[in-house]
Amino acid sequence: MAQKPQEKQRMFDLGPEEMWTPFLEEVNDLMIEEKQARHENDGIKTSEICVRILRLAYDQRDFVKLREFLIILTKRRGQAKKPIVDMVQLLINEFLPLMPTREEKYNLLQTIREATDGKMFLEREYANSTKWLCEMLEEDGKIDEATKIIQEIQIETYGSLQTVEKVDFILYQMKLVLIRRDFVRCQILSRKISRKHLNEAGLEKQKIQYFLFMVRYYVHEKMILDTAKAFQTIYDTYNKSNPDLALDTTGQLKTTAFQNFIIYLMVAPYTNEKVDLLNIAESLYTRELDQNELIAKFMRKFLTYELMPFNDQEIEQQFSQFEPFRADLTEHSHNHSQDFLRQLIQHNIRVVQKYYQRIRLPRLAQLVGVSVDLAEKEIGDMVVNKRLVAKINRMQGIVSFQKNKFTNDVLNDWNYDIRHMLDKIENTCHLINREKVVHNVV
């Protein structure tokens, strides 16, 4: 009795509407050979067979099967590292750029991400495919989806990537969260980049991009002095970078960075750090200040104890051309304008304080160039923020200025008062005892 021919082993399943074709039969035969080579631990032969299977699928232009075969082969039990790496490299380096449509490229990237997920030896490929996928989503306007995907990757833990690759990836993460205006997550991501690493040679472009992102964060959080220092870093990077890098071919970006540095420095609230930075700017950036006469004139006024003529409408008109005061370019631009005028007023008040101990409020308002109510309001703000020591007698309309005392001075005054009081007590006791003695003699 004749025996039934033994059925060929099937290495993958077909859909309900699919049929076995010569192409699929050939792939099935190759998978049988792949299984045998894998069981024999022959990594080189296994890799060659896997690559051949993917090439067959690509030559047939069957991109669905191409993606399916990649997942099947990478998830085989006991699959060696070399076949997986070779297949992923083949797809990324050869097939991905040749995808006929955007949709096929998108689907292939998703498959590559699935095949490389969780494999330490494919960290770079996983990170790159994820970034390319998110860039496509960004172009399609799907910012929320792109941000959700890319936030899942903790790129700083990937040991196989170089510093510049990690920085580029984190910068792209920061870009996406800033588009969504998620400033809290932007600050978290910014802490993953060491500013010491940004000072390394070859990272000038990344350094500038990082601080531009931080400027948007600082402006949103109204951290004006930090914004000024960020623009100072950007300008210094442009100034010291190799011309061959072509970071700023026209010079306009460098000029704008310097202008923003000085303007935000003038807008920032008065502190010792601000004064130090103003002096540094005056000594180190003399040539740049000479090229920006309007900004230089106001900045140098902040370093001298001279009253500034105050005309708010004229000043706003003069500075409306600069980026920090333009609503179409900068968030809180109106607040920056108001803060700049406030700093001019408070500077004039500090000048008056230097030359007067007591002054009538209307006279002070006349010297400063504002109304009595506004002068009183600014003095109150300076006193509350401990930038000025003053008292206002509203009944008499007199402002009394006092100097800040250091801790040693306060202790010395207290010591003197105690000694003086004890000397008087001792002298009084001596006089009382003398009277007692005289009275007893008599």
Q: Where are the domains of the chain?
A: 18-140
Compute the distance between CA of residue 67 and CA of residue 179 in angstroms, rounded to an integer: 32
Residue 213 has pLDDT above 60, yes or no: yes
Find residue 400's DSSP bridge partners: 358, 391
Model confidence band, residue 440 (pLDDT cutoffs 50, 70, 90): confident
**Average pLDDT over every residue of 18-46:** 84
Helices (H), 304-398: 312-319, 333-355, 361-368, 372-384
Return the CA Rg of the chain: 37
Architecture of domain 18-140 in this structure: Alpha Horseshoe (1.25)
Check residue 42 and report its DSSP letter: -
- Select from 328, 338, 261, 326 the least CA-distant residue to 292: 261
Rounded to the nearest 10 degrees, the angle between the axes of helix 293-302 and helix 272-284 is: 130
As a whole number, the mean pLDDT across the chain is 86
The torsion region of residue 19 among left (phi > 0), alpha (psi -120 to 50) and beta comes to beta
Find residue 201's DSSP bridge partners: none
- Say which range, 125-129, 157-161, 261-265, 362-366, has the weakest mean pLDDT: 157-161
148-161 pLDDT per residue, tens? 988 888 888 888 88
Q: What pTM, to 2 d.p., does this model score?
A: 0.81
Alpha carbon 229 to chain centroid distance? 13
Compute the distance between CA of residue 198 and CA of residue 216 in angstroms, rounded to an integer: 19
What pLDDT does 425 receive?
92
What pLDDT does 2 receive?
43
What contacts 387, CB < 8 A, 6 or more positions away?
269, 270, 346
